[in-house]
Structure 1
């Protein structure tokens, strides 16, 4: 598919009573934009889409010169970004260095970059693609390192570090369903009410309103606190694991501070999640629209109250009108301490969030780009203020970056590995750009190519048809994060089918979609609508040989999900279907790890999950 050369912004005046009114369009030409630059400018609104670039300075003469009437101007803030992504295997050394040596290379980048939010975003998604256990270990390492380097508890997690950004983004990634279940009903009731909860006398026309307003505010605050305290069993366990390590590290670092272990946890769970969501419901998808002025004020007062309670602190002289709320805060401090202790204590029941769709090469490419963009600053840092471990990490990282840049410039094609021989061959460098989006290709290695791998050798019209198929599947899925990331240039559709997932002895009808890098399944609700139920990355999937699953029927096969540390049994329509599905899943699983046998740690984990020695299906 041909790449777009322009972005068209169409502006309409929304009218609830009649038709919406067209106000004009702005045409932005991509070849006129500087990659990596953020624009904040006024652009001319015209009556129709332009066929050539218009200077974005609001000058009506430009529009008139092209015969398009100028209808006004609009201020736009936009950021243009170009991404050049290599096949996943090219990032192996980069990923190893990034994750190794106690994250020294990452910490070096964090010391010089101004784009910590974007670095943290792609970092979290890279680790999440490897499984939630990997993400938890990353967050534990980052937060504990920051605690150990903080001189006093009063400034703990006050800055916008990689650690705070990463954990903040992770909470938004995994805790939204929990947040909605906890506060959704309360937020909607506040939105639907027209009554004020203002308690600042200087904002009221009459102090006679105070009594009723205080009653409403205390009721709202009590409801919010009660709902939060009751929600402890639904808090994602991965967050509890991170909070537990944080609390223990704070106790060890500041043994004489009795409050810091609580406020370290509440600084994330309340300041950055609960209270932030109360203050801005639309940003957390708790409401469709921003609140009006009266509702916004009510939410602000509730948020202030809950945040002070989470800080274990009363209102002081800066906000004397809130002093009547101190009795409520004092009464609930013991409950808050109990909740924060439970939120940072891992129990026996482990319930993780659903797996997310992650485009692994894209996340790695984005992080490489940050290292490349900061190369000059990193070199200066390495030769000057960098600690020895940071300098050593950068000395290892720079040649890796140079090799990746050379591969990108040369248009390297992906490496194809034969399932039969295990040998690999790389095609000669060629241009990676393609008008039809077909992308690079590679010859098969010597020997007969496995039929499953042969399905991945697509070009031209086949690649276009593959993208249409993936987009169609993406459109049919609901209740998942896939709307933004399922369709990927390198993701190839392999097969789909309606089968049964065996759960606790019961058959559950499911639709399965197998791609080159993952297995996705869901429940068919109606025609062209599938409710997402789960996803297993190919790299985290082990297909069990029938000899290690004697309890299965001939139509069934078993997959070990290394991410969620459990098995999934699939009942096919026939033995032939079972053979085909098991073969394809096994080949793609082995392909994802370079056709290497299970390493010692993975074998031990598979044995533990299976409760007997695991024998992998030999595709």
Structure 2
């Protein structure tokens, strides 16, 4: 079961928060957490879960003030739901507000690992036809599918191959190179998780020092006049932002060797695929890699540094805005685009972009110049995941999309095998269920 505690609405002004598994304290009335909690192997006698909201008092004292209980029987098996849930107060004071949750509950029998061998072998077939079929079908279930697939391929040292094949499929599917990696798909979910697993040392080398400097600084890098305390701050803020941009680009541009070889290899694959598809598109080899590295790695890490282990706590509000401004400027530089009339207050950054365009092109080419890393040794990363559970998740997703797979199987022989294996595993699972009963 996966629960993401997202945000709340109209909480009483004195509330903090500490739901089950404990979020960090946030100020009322509209706290925003967006914290993810994963509960594996929930005991079968658990039929509901309760989230309790507490006041974070002085000296660490806390008091329970409101709660909500959700019955697991009300959740569709394997489907993600995102809703506002009303809170009930411990004492009657009127309305207690509501909590927004994104929940995915999966009740699945996990058979012994050897039962899933046919499915595993099918997924690992050369060219990955079964994976490509799932990529066309997975929508709301793309995140659990991405996790399960990446674990299944990583276990046998083929995580980079999975990412490469899905990346190639993403290029084949896209009609506009400027839209690469902007859609939510199985491919982008796998790539995000692949980079999250490999790129923390690179982020430490490239941006961690700047992140900490912005968190510690009293000076703001805000340029939006509607978000400044005083219009007189504009000049100092701009000078500070440009100084930070010079520092972080130097750090990034001198760190290509810190980027893991599998990720650099994928960048090279992406360049070659994009140039082959759009040979007359100027700068396409640069922009597709910048979308991969900046749009989905460096800029998200700047905006959410705690999620990438770049800081221990949430940055203070002024630092969060500064980090956002830096990410915004780097994204434009990575896209080789200056700021325009829509945001006139950002035009002060354009000389910096013009000065660094060529350096960005050179950096992305250097980053992409890496040979194929080859297969990693099985279990080289001391993986702790349960492969039977991951394959059970993939079987569950295949069952959910069985009708669509059956339609695809009429013209694709490789998909017929996936349908056959899915139906066979379903029969085996029913036999195990009968034994349990």
| TM bracket, shorter-chain basis | 0.7 to 0.9
Aligned length: 389
Between stretches 122-131 and 78-87, larger displacement belongs to 78-87
Instruction: Check 1:200–1:7 CA distance in 2 against 1; reply closer, same or farther (3 A cut).
Output: closer
Task: Say whether 1:393 aligns with 2:401.
Answer: no
Task: Say whether 1:337 aligns with 2:364.
Answer: no
Gap runs ≥5 in structure 2: 1-41
Instruction: Check 1:73–1:274 CA distance in 2 against 1; reply closer, same or farther (3 A cut).
Output: same
Q: Secondary structure at the match of 1:82?
A: coil
Query: Shift of residue 145 of structure 1?
Result: 3.0
Task: Say whether 1:99 aligns with 2:120.
Answer: no
Instruction: Check 1:359–1:45 CA distance in 2 against 1; reply closer, same or farther (3 A cut).
Output: same
> Paired residue for 1:120?
146
Instruction: Check 1:263–1:93 CA distance in 2 against 1; reply closer, same or farther (3 A cut).
Output: same
Query: Shift of residue 361 of structure 1?
Result: 0.9
Q: Secondary structure at the match of 1:411?
A: helix
Instruction: Check 1:244–1:18 CA distance in 2 against 1; reply closer, same or farther (3 A cut).
Output: closer
Give the superposed CA RMSD. Answer: 3.0
Instruction: Check 1:252–1:79 CA distance in 2 against 1; reply closer, same or farther (3 A cut).
Output: closer
> Paired residue for 1:372?
399
Q: Secondary structure at the match of 1:75?
A: strand
Q: How many angstroms apart in 2 are the aligned matches of 1:350 and 1:103?
A: 17
Query: Shift of residue 103 of structure 1?
Result: 2.2
> Paired residue for 2:383?
356
Q: How many angstroms apart in 2 are the aligned matches of 1:159 and 1:9?
A: 32
Q: How many angstroms apart in 1 are the aligned matches of 2:118 and 2:355?
A: 55
State which of 258, 261, 267 in structure 2 corresponds to 1:234.
Answer: 258
Q: How many angstroms apart in 2 are the aligned matches of 1:231 and 1:101?
A: 34
Gap runs ≥5 in structure 1: 49-59, 61-68, 413-429, 434-619
Q: Describe the superposition over 1:385-416 as per-residue Cα deviations: whole angstroms up to 9, x where unpaired.
A: xxx3xx3222212221111111111118xxxx
Q: How many angstroms apart in 2 are the aligned matches of 1:241 and 1:344?
A: 6
1:187 and 1:286 in contact (8 A); partners too: yes
Q: How many angstroms apart in 1 are the aligned matches of 2:87 and 2:227?
A: 41
1:372 and 1:401 in contact (8 A); partners too: yes
Q: How many angstroms apart in 2 are the aligned matches of 1:284 and 1:337?
A: 26
Q: Describe the superposition over 1:551-587 as per-residue Cα deviations: whole angstroms up to 9, x where unpaired.
A: xxxxxxxxxxxxxxxxxxxxxxxxxxxxxxxxxxxxx
State which of 88, 102, 116 in structure 2 corresponds to 1:45.
Answer: 88
Instruction: Check 1:208–1:239 CA distance in 2 against 1; reply closer, same or farther (3 A cut).
Output: same
Instruction: Please tell me whether Structure 1 or Structure 2 has the larger radius of gyration of its CA atoms.
Output: 1
> Paired residue for 2:426?
405
TM-score (norm 1): 0.58
List structure 1 runs of 4+ shifted beyond 6 angstroms: 347-353
1:98 and 1:106 in contact (8 A); partners too: yes
Query: Shift of residue 159 of structure 1?
Result: 2.6
Q: How many angstroms apart in 1 are the aligned matches of 2:183 and 2:211?
A: 29
Task: Say whether 1:310 aligns with 2:334.
Answer: yes
Between stretches 361-370 and 177-186, larger displacement belongs to 177-186
Q: How many angstroms apart in 2 are the aligned matches of 1:274 and 1:350?
A: 25
Q: How many angstroms apart in 1 are the aligned matches of 2:375 and 2:258?
A: 8
TM-score (norm 2): 0.80
Q: How many angstroms apart in 2 are the aligned matches of 1:394 and 1:252?
A: 28
Structure with higher helix content? 2
Task: Say whether 1:322 aligns with 2:332.
Answer: no
> Paired residue for 2:37?
none
2:178 and 2:288 in contact (8 A); partners too: no
Structure with higher strand content? 1
